[in-house]
Each structure stands twice: as structure tokens, then as C-alpha cells.
Amino acid sequence: MMSRLGIFVLWLLHGLPLAAQAMLGNALGWLAYHVARSRRLVGEINLGLCFPEWSVQERDKVLREHFQCVARAALEHGMLWWSPAARINRLVRIEGLEHFEAVYGKPLILLAPHFVGLDMGGIRISTEYHPLVSMYSRLRNPRFDRLMLHARTRFGQSRLFSRHEGVRPMIAEIRRGLPLYYLPDQDFGARDAVFVPFFGVPAATVNALPRLAKVTGAVVLPAVTRQLGGGAGYVVRFYPAWQDFPTSSVEDDVARMNRFIEERVREMPAQYFWLHKRFKTRPAGEAGFYTR
């Protein structure tokens, strides 16, 4: 019942100006910060590990803003589910398009770290440059899961594969010429992962990016989406394609990816997904961080 009500509310709100949705999202995020104590604790631990040089007050300010960014993005998903492509294209701008068009048509991996505008960027790209292929984790709520699949595939017949299906279907699609919108920076355990630094802390990081690039001959092109203030929308920015990637060292390649993500996090720290237990998997014999 609650999921139906939530979907109905998002449908009612999706036609509002983005500035109005932003105000509501900020208010909801303020409330969530005070109510969602367990998630707030995860964010506090993550920020403490990544930014020990900041004061407690500085980290708390970023975490409060993060809850608002997350809530805003959640409300604005209604636009992705039901608004026409023309509206999405107006509200999500593209920068650095020359970098994308220089490699479009070749085997291509778009490196898309977990910032709050992740879905906005991917769906915006798919409205004009389609189809895309991506991997996703199923949501627990089946109604929201169906809506997310609908949003991510409703323009240009984009293809999504469950994480449980592995990388083989994606390899075939990359070789067929579909750009892969790839989200590589969450902790899925030690399997197929290497421990490389993320803000100086060893983090179990999936090693698939260099492996996929090697087996498909794909170019890696970062695509990072920023949420703008005041309801001004979003910007998805393409960066220059990576040169000399992959190398002979998977660990060096994955560490390079993490360093790139760190640079973007420092530019917009409130927008990185701090509520995920990024450091849950630890090297053998090392105590966990999320036990208090």
C-alpha cells in the first residue's frame, strides 16, 4: 500500500517545476537526516574515514547536504519515469560532448561513479545516443524495481542486465557497438575485487573495468553527473577518454579509477553516495568499521 501511495505522490509531483521539487526534496532530506539514524551513522563513518582532516562540524554539514541531495534526486525520479524526452533534455544539460562524439561508435565504456545524479545522466544520454547497456541491482520493492527498469530503458531500447547475470552479456553488447554505462564503485564483497586505496583507505573495488576494456578493446570515457542548486537541473559531463588504459596491472588500473573518483568527490562532496557501506569488506584479519 505504501509503495503505491509513494508512486502516486511522485506522479503528482513530477509535473511541478524543478525548483518546487527541489524545495520539497530539501525539506524531505532535512527530515530524513534526523530520522534515519542508522544510515546517518554509515555516512558519518564514511566521511570520517575519507576526510579525517575535516572537523566534525564540517563533515556533519556535508552529510546534511547529502541527505537533501539524495531526497531531491529521489523525488525528481518521477520526471525520469513519466516526463517526455524534451523535458529531460532541457533539465539535464550535457558538457564535453566533443569527447563523447570523438569515440561514439567504437566499443565504449562510460565510467559513471555513484553520484546522486547518476540516473539523470544515464537517461539523458539515452534520449539522444541510444541504445545503451548497463548493469543493475534489483530493488527489494518490485513496483519501484519495475519503474526503475522502465525509466532506464524507455528511450531507444536500452538494455539492462542484472548483476547476477555476470559480465558476459555486457561483453557481447559492447562488441556489438552499444556504449556501456558502468557503475563500478560499490562494495560487493571480495569476489572479483581488489583492495586499492579510496581516500587512503583500502577498499574492495570491483576489478571489471580494466578487464572489460581489455577483452572488448573498449575506450573508457568518464561521464559524471552533477546536481545543480536551486532546482536548476543537472549537468552530465564527459571527460577526455583515458589513454594507456588498461595496463598490465589490474591493481594499478583500478587504483587509477579510484583516484579519478576521489577528484570528483572533492569537487562536490555532498553528492557522492555516502550512505552505502563502501568499506564493509575488509582485508583478512582487519576489523570492520560499521560495527558500533
Which pLDDT value is given to residue 9?
81
**Which residue ranges in the chain fall short of pLDDT 70?**
1-2, 139, 157, 292
Contact yes or no for 185/113 (Cβ under 8 A): yes
* Bond from prior residue into 113 cis (ω within 30 degrees of 0): no
Which pLDDT value is given to residue 108?
96
pTM summary value:
0.92
- Residue spans of the domains in the chain: they are 86-271
Give 234-279 as a DSSP string: EEEEEPPPPSS-S-S-HHHHHHHHHHHHHHHHHHSGGGB-TTS-TT
What is the second-level CATH architecture of the domain 86-271?
3-Layer(aba) Sandwich (3.40)
Residue 87 has phi, psi (to 5 degrees) of -70, -45
Identity of the residue numbered 270: A
Which pLDDT value is given to residue 292?
60
